[in-house]
Amino acid sequence: MNLEEYSGIWVFLEVKDGQIAPVSLELLGAGRQMADKRGVPLAGLLIGEGVASLAEMVFPYGADEVYLYDEEIFRDYRTESYMRAVLECVEKHKPEIILYGATSTGKDLASAVATDLQTGLTADTTMLDVNAETGLLEASRPAFGGNIMATILCKKHRPQMATVRPKVMKALPPDPNRTGQIIRETIELREEDIRTKVLEIVRETKEKVRLDEADVIVAGGKGLGSREGFELIHRFAEKIGATVGASRDAVEAGWIDHQHQVGQTGVTVTPKVYFAIGISGAIQHIVGMQNAGLIIAINKDPEAPIFQSSHYGIVGDAFEIVPILMEAFQKMPDKEVQYGGKI
Amino acid sequence: MLHIVACIKQVPDTKIIKMNPKTNTMDRSSAPAILNPYDAHAVEEAVRLKQRYGGVVSVVTMGPPPAVKAIRKCVEIGADEGYLITDRAFAGADTLATSYALTKAIEKISEIKPVDLVICGKMTIDGDTGQVGPGIARRLDIPPLTNVNKVVEVNQSEGYVIVHRKLEDGYEVIRSTLPCLFSVEKEINEVPYSPLPNMLRAARYQPVIWAVNDLGEIDRTLLGLKGSPTIVAKVWPPEKPKGGERLEGTAQEQVSRLMEILQEKQGLFRVKEEQV
Amino acid sequence: MAEKFDVIVVGAGPAGTACAYTLAKAGANVLLMERGEYPGSKNVMGGVLYRKTMEDIIPEFYKEAPLERPIVEQRFMMLDKSSALTFSYKGLEWAQEPYNNFTVLRAKFDQWFADKAVKEGALLLNETVALECIVEDGKVVGIRTDRPDGDVYADVVVLADGVNSLLAKSLGFHKEFRPDEVALAVMEVLKLDRKIIEDRFSLEGDQGCTFEIFGDSTKGILGTAWLYTNKDSLNIGVGAMLSGLIKHKIKPYELLDYVKNHPMLRPYIQGSEQQEYLAHLIPEGGYKSMPKVVGNGVIVVGDAAQLVNAIHREGSNMAMASGVMAAETILQAREAGDFSEKMLDMYRVKLLDSFVGQDLKKYKDATHHFEKFPQYFEQYIPMMNRAASQMFTVDGTSKWEKQKKIWRDIGTPKEKWRMARDLMNAWRVMK
Ligand SMILES: Cc1cc2nc3c(=O)[nH]c(=O)nc-3n(C[C@H](O)[C@H](O)[C@H](O)COP(=O)(O)OP(=O)(O)OC[C@H]3O[C@@H](n4cnc5c(N)ncnc54)[C@H](O)[C@@H]3O)c2cc1C
Ligand SMILES: Cc1cc2nc3c(=O)[nH]c(=O)nc-3n(C[C@H](O)[C@H](O)[C@H](O)COP(=O)(O)OP(=O)(O)OC[C@H]3O[C@@H](n4cnc5c(N)ncnc54)[C@H](O)[C@@H]3O)c2cc1C
Ligand SMILES: Nc1ncnc2c1ncn2[C@@H]1O[C@H](COP(=O)(O)O)[C@@H](O)[C@H]1O
């Protein structure tokens, strides 16, 4: 394989509800930086039916070009049809890097494409960089349940590919004056050749998950003072779609069932966000939650050890702070943010 | 009679893994080896389909010899046969090389009895990619159906399946030709407590063990480290909370600052609307 | 169709595994049933394994078993609030084969031992709880497990399910424990660098030592604490009679915290990191609380039969010995084709004849005695500490003067008399 033949950075533009998915715009932001570093163009790859109008929308976010497949056969996402388009386009234009959002669609597509291209694919990347000279992509991601970070390279194969978690890259502020070139592509693909059919798409809201699988946990401790006080935790958790956790002392006080206990003699949790409210931070508690992505402590004792183990600490009375927090969430502009982002 | 192959892997229990703070390496010995939890659901789904339509469930894994234990676990769940492919040559495989080796194994199993359906877990908790399943499907040239959270129908005589694929905000109903490959979500089923006869069978069970040479014609350059386009260049421990930032100001100010931070990092909260 | 084995052994602790091993080796078809994820996963022990009994089962086992350290020194500490009177024996004859005792981590050891039984042909079934014995016509014929389709049958069932043997209870062999028949023990495994352990405890290479700690370690409740060295961890624990804990309203882990923070012990564990926390009952009733151990088609072994020597903290050895005796009896019964209580009673006779029975008899009054007279722990140990402090403090007072003071410290003539009598009694139950 002649690596020199491959040039340019691509972003797979995922379409969701007739819009370019936020994660794709984020990837254009990250891709722009890398393309500048390399001095190569940044292209979007847009596949769908009736999506031509969306192509224009991505230039303000940093794309120089968009490869567009706009055909009826692409109405619904299907691995086999989309994959064909990507494979053909890659064959024709030979990019050095392709980024996909680590969404169910992005991951599904990238895995299939990587196999056919016999190239490397790094999953769920959270950091990206590129070597200006060699064009080598440095894709870093959490591994082993978040216990370590690993940087993954693909030295001898092109294109280098990665899926990237939503919300970890930043979209550029749109520049309405930026324009680019739309390159229309066509493909020979008949419906009979596609072995899967989408019969129906059903939208629904998510239900709650278990503590050890929860993405957001609101945990309360002895500092809540009473069973009634602990209600605050339930209310806050419900408000933000979180799961309720507790310290052992709160459990032993009988305010909440043992199955909510986090820690050495409880559950070990790895949520993306962990609120520790009125919890002192005993080591037995810490061992159960220290791998959370973001730990936020609320405690009225400025000396409480929990502050040593949290990313952000608020010194104050839970009964004052939490209601203000709940109000702030209520006012949050982007309430239905896409689920599945990881920190 | 369906022949379903479930791909399963033995993994270190990453919830228990400890880091050596001095060397920044993982103390893998501290974590017991378990059946990848997602794969238990894959096997359970295979067993349920067997019970529903009749057939045979085989499980296959690529791994070191102790992975026999993971196969026994699958026999407890109700798998009929287990195949372990184990060989130095497989060591260091990334997802591409893994899917190649497993494809070879599945082809070999197919010679014993043609395979109708392959089921994988959504992902492994150590590799954590979810890429192996689709990789196998591509290599076998069968449709990959990822994120499956319900199997509506498997119709062997007419050669199709209908499943639900989970989406971020719902699901889609898909019809695919059979044979095909599912990667299943955890929520697809609950793995029940295994009955005693399965346990006794599992305790005695000896899986079929194959080395590279047993897999027939195979391109060794596509296996293991050699066949892996990706390499792990370095590993380092993620930032640990080390007495993080203390937010300043009045309660209101502290909360505002926190909200800024969350807005930067989140993507997680769906706020319940106040009832009016 | 439910399966039938020659023998089902419930519990893969030292007792059950020794029994299954012996049976399998002799060619019997044995099912060894364990509720834990694997043998040892739930098992607790201070951590001293005695060589002799184990070696009777597997000669030179120490060459391959996962042992921590051979013990070359045994220390005994009489602890007061801020002082300790210590005596110890260290002998390098214990540092070489065949050794004397070893520290072990049960999670590793039990797994290894059970694996040996499997290699001899026993079928090991993990993660399965025996719920009750299946009894037909007054004879135990099998086990009902907690699994669907969970019945399994055998000629003989061996109950090796540990101290709180629910199965023996359900057969009416024992009743619920009285709080003064069991000690509650809690312990922690503390990770510590190998090198630090060896320096701190003056050990060369693989050698190990044990501390047995009396007195303030249990805040005056009848019991002991211990500190053992493993390869790269320490084992620290405390056990106290349940009755005492209840009376003093102390939670066991509070007691352990107290021990860990005791100024006489703290320096030994400094810088270590907690790895595991375990709690367990130890039957301390001795000979007098030994239950019925044989019935039609059933034998009880190990802790389930309350075979623990509370004074010398032995248990695993008695468990193994009883397991072997049960196996031998069953093999004989098999030859005779008779699994009745009368036939199996041979086991009870053997047991009482062996060191297990002898030792249990010897100490039959000890626990009850110490339990009844708290002054041993509450008064005499502090007194011994004060006496030592008096004697060893060089302050210009003559040694005569010091002895007189110590004597005065004991109290009124009446109290002196009582102490003399207590010590005599203690001697009598222990000798
Ligand atoms: C062997 C063992 C195992 C254990 N296992 C576990 C375990 O699995 N999980 C576990 O959690 N613990 C465990 N513990 C217990 C642990 O050591 C602590 O005792 C426990 O975590 C303390 O709980 P807490 O933080 O809720 O209570 P406390 O330590 O009492 O802390 C309460 C905190 O709330 C703060 N506070 C009070 N009022 C307010 C207010 N109005 N607003 C804000 N803050 C307030 C206080 O400043 C204080 O810091 C274990 C202990 C042992 C010995
Ligand atoms: C804190 C402590 C310190 C000790 N220190 C020492 C020491 O230093 N040296 C020493 O020799 N002895 C010591 N002992 C005593 C020793 O641990 C026991 O005497 C010994 O373990 C008894 O062996 P066993 O096989 O009878 O029971 P256990 O070791 O208790 O084994 C019973 C097994 O049965 C299983 N089981 C129980 N119920 C069921 C069921 N219903 N179905 C299936 N499986 C079941 C359990 O999981 C367990 O594996 C100590 C004990 C304690 C608690
Ligand atoms: N070594 C392996 N042996 C068998 N199946 C595997 C192996 N690795 C991955 N799989 C299957 O592929 C799925 C996805 O794995 P991964 O891509 O590693 O996240 C797993 O849930 C398994 O079903």
C284-332: pLDDT as tens digits: 666 666 789 999 999 999 989 888 765 556 788 999 999 999 999 999 9
Section A302-322 average pLDDT = 92
Work out the number of other CB atoms within 10 angstroms of the CB of residue C230: 23
- B51-73 burial, b at 16+ Cβ within 10 Å, e below that, comes to eebebbbbbbbbbeeebbebbbb
Work out the number of other CB atoms within 10 angstroms of the CB of residue A308: 15
A15 annotated as a binding-site residue:
no
CA B110 – CA B5 distance, rounded (Å): 9
How buried is C278 (Cβ within 10 angstroms: 0-12 exposed, 13-18 middle, 19+ buried)?
A: middle
* DSSP code, position A253: T
In the structure encoding, which two tokens stand for residue C320, read together? 């193994």
B106, B59 in Cβ contact below 8 A?
Answer: no
β-strand pairing of A196-203 with C182-191: unpaired
Task: Enumerate residues 157 to 196 of chain B having a beta carbon within 8 A of any beta carbon in chain A.
Answer: 162, 165-177, 180, 186
B230, A150 in Cβ contact below 8 A?
Answer: no
The CA B165 to ligand 1 mean position distance, Å, reads: 42
Where does residue C163 fall: left (phi above 0), alpha (psi -120 to 50 degrees), or beta otherwise?
alpha
User: Is C145 part of the contact surface with chain B (CB cutoff 8 Å)?
Assistant: yes
User: Looking at per-residue confidence, does C396 or A45 come out higher?
Assistant: A45
Q: Name the phi and psi angles at C201, rounded to 5.
A: -105, 15
Helix (H, G, I), strand (E, B) or coil at C265: coil
Section A29-33 average pLDDT = 97
Side chain identity, residue B157: S
C319, C395 in Cβ contact below 8 A?
Answer: no
Give first-to-last CA distance, chain B, whole Å.
57
List Cα–Cα distances, C67 to C62, C113, C115, C232, C233, in angstroms: 7, 11, 15, 12, 13
In tens, the pLDDT along B52-111 reads 999 999 999 999 999 999 999 999 999 999 999 999 999 999 999 999 999 999 999 999
Closest CA to C71 of C239, C194, C231, C255: C231
Query: B196 and C123 in contact by Cβ < 8 A?
Result: no
What is the topology classification, in CATH, of domain C180-283? D-Amino Acid Oxidase; Chain A, domain 2 (3.30.9)
Q: Residue C373: pLDDT above 70?
A: no
**Half-sphere exposure in the Cβ direction for A169 (13 Å, CA):** 34
B57, B154 in Cβ contact below 8 A?
Answer: no
Listed in sequence order, the residues at least 6 apart from C137 whose beta carbon sits closer than 8 Å to its beta carbon are none
List Cα–Cα distances, C250 to A314, C300, C369, C380, in angstroms: 35, 33, 22, 22
What is the pTM assigned to this prediction? 0.80
Helix (H, G, I), strand (E, B) or coil at C316: helix
In the structure encoding, which two tokens stand for residue C144, read together? 């009902």
Per-residue confidence band for B19, with pLDDT thresholds at 50, 70 and 90: low
Nearest CB to A312 within list B175, B247, B268: B247
Three-state secondary structure readout of chain B: CEEEEEECCEEECCCCCEEECCCCEEEHHHCCEEECHHHHHHHHHHHHHHHHHCEEEEEEEECCHHHHHHHHHHHHHCCCEEEEECCHHHCCCCHHHHHHHHHHHHHHHHHHCCCCEEEEECCCCCCCCCCHHHHHHHHHCCCEEEEEEEEEEEECCCCEEEEEEEECCEEEEEEEECCEEEEECHHHCCCCCCCHHHHHHHHHCCCEEECHHHHCCCCHHHCCCCCCCEEEEEEECCCCCCCCEECCCCHHHHHHHHHHHHHHHCCCCCCCCCCC
A10, A45 in Cβ contact below 8 A?
Answer: yes
Radius of gyration of chain B (CA): 22
Closest CA to A16 of A76, A88, A83, A61: A76
Section A178-197 average pLDDT = 95
The CA B152 to ligand 1 mean position distance, Å, reads: 47
Section C24-45 average pLDDT = 90
Per-residue confidence band for B51, with pLDDT thresholds at 50, 70 and 90: very high
SS3 content of chain C, % helix, strand, coil (to 5): 40, 25, 30
Q: Residue C378: pLDDT above 90?
A: no
Which protein residue has the closest C-alpha to ligand 1 atom 47? Answer: A301
Choosing from B132, B136, B147 the residue with most ligand 3 atoms within 8 A of its CB, the one to mutate for a pocket test is B132
User: Helices A104-117 and A79-93: crossing angle, nearest 10°?
Assistant: 50
Ligand 3 pocket, residue B85 CB under 6 Å: no
Angle at A162 between CA A157 and CA A164, to 5 degrees: 170
Radius of gyration of chain C (CA): 23
Strands (E), C170-250: 182-191, 208-215, 223-229, 233-241
A285 annotated as a binding-site residue:
yes
β-strand pairing of C182-191 with C233-241: antiparallel
* Atom number in ligand 3 closest to CA B42: 23
Task: Suggest the residue from B47, B77, B200, B204 to mutate for an interface test with chain C (most C CBs closer than 10 A).
Answer: B200
SS3 content of chain A, % helix, strand, coil (to 5): 35, 25, 40
Where does residue A291 fall: left (phi above 0), alpha (psi -120 to 50 degrees), or beta otherwise?
alpha
Ligand 3 pocket, residue B100 CB under 6 Å: no
The CA B106 to ligand 3 mean position distance, Å, reads: 13
Helix (H, G, I), strand (E, B) or coil at A102: coil
Give first-to-last CA distance, chain A, whole Å.
36
Query: A114 and B131 in contact by Cβ < 8 A?
Result: yes
Listed in sequence order, the residues at least 6 apart from C341 whose beta carbon sits closer than 8 Å to its beta carbon are C294, C295, C296
Section A146-166 average pLDDT = 90
ipTM greater than 0.85: no
B73, B79 in Cβ contact below 8 A?
Answer: no
Section A314-320 average pLDDT = 95
Mean pLDDT of chain A, nearest integer: 90
Residue B174 forms beta bridges with which residues? A198, B163
Mean pLDDT of chain B, nearest integer: 90
CA C319 – CA C306 distance, rounded (Å): 9
Ligand 2 pocket, residue C129 CB under 6 Å: yes
Where does residue C111 fall: left (phi above 0), alpha (psi -120 to 50 degrees), or beta otherwise?
alpha
Ligand 3 pocket, residue B25 CB under 6 Å: no
What ligand has the least distance to the C-alpha of B102? 3
Strands (E), chain A: 9-13, 15-16, 19-20, 42-48, 65-70, 97-101, 121-125, 127-130, 137-143, 148-154, 160-164, 181-184, 196-203, 216-220, 243-246, 273-277, 294-299, 312-315
Question: Number of CB pairs < 8 Å for B and C?
Answer: 34
A161, A120 in Cβ contact below 8 A?
Answer: yes
In tens, the pLDDT along A112-134 reads 999 999 999 999 998 999 999 99
Q: Where in chain A is the domain with CATH 3.40.50.620?
A: 3-193
DSSP H or E segment with residue C107: helix C106-119
What ligand has the least distance to the C-alpha of A320? 1
In tens, the pLDDT along C248-274 reads 888 888 889 999 999 999 999 999 988
Side chain identity, residue B22: K
Q: What percent of chain C has pLDDT over 70?
A: 90
C-alpha of A96 from chain center: 23
B147, A108 in Cβ contact below 8 A?
Answer: yes
Helix (H, G, I), strand (E, B) or coil at C223: strand
Task: Enumerate residues 41 to 80 of chain B having a beta carbon within 8 A of any beta carbon in chain A.
Answer: none
CA C347 – CA C330 distance, rounded (Å): 9
Say which range, A240-244, B135-139, B248-252, C415-419, has the weakest mean pLDDT: C415-419
Question: Number of CB pairs < 8 Å for A and C?
Answer: 4
Side chain identity, residue B103: T
Say which range, A298-307, B219-228, B247-256, C220-229, has the weakest mean pLDDT: C220-229
Ligand 1 is surrounded, with C-beta below 6 A, by A 221-223, 247-250, 261, 263-266, 278-280, 282, 284-285, 288, 298-301, 304, 317-319; C 253, 277
Q: Residue A343: pLDDT above 60?
A: no
CATH 3.40.50.620 is the classification of domain B2-222: yes
User: Is B16 part of the contact surface with chain C (CB cutoff 8 Å)?
Assistant: no
Size of chain B in residues: 276
The CA A280 to ligand 1 mean position distance, Å, reads: 5
User: Looking at per-residue confidence, does A313 or A336 come out higher?
Assistant: A313
Give residue C67's pLDDT: 94
Q: Residue A337: pLDDT above 50?
A: no
Work out the number of other CB atoms within 10 angstroms of the CB of residue B28: 13
User: Looking at per-residue confidence, does B102 or C214 come out higher?
Assistant: B102
The CATH superfamily holding the domain C4-68+104-176+289-353 is FAD/NAD(P)-binding domain (3.50.50.60)
Section C222-244 average pLDDT = 88
Give residue A25's pLDDT: 96
**B196: chain C residues, CB-CB within 8 Å:** 128, 145, 147-152
Q: Averaging pLDDT over each range in A13-17, B114-118, C48-52, C278-282, which range is the top one? A: B114-118
Domain A3-193 carries which CATH code? 3.40.50.620
In the structure encoding, which two tokens stand for residue C418, read together? 């009582």
CATH 3.40.50.1220 is the classification of domain A211-331: yes
Q: Residue B276: pLDDT above 70?
A: no
Q: Residue A342: pLDDT above 60?
A: no
The CA B272 to ligand 2 mean position distance, Å, reads: 51
In the structure encoding, which two tokens stand for residue C119, read together? 């290699």
Give residue B24's pLDDT: 56
A187 annotated as a binding-site residue:
no
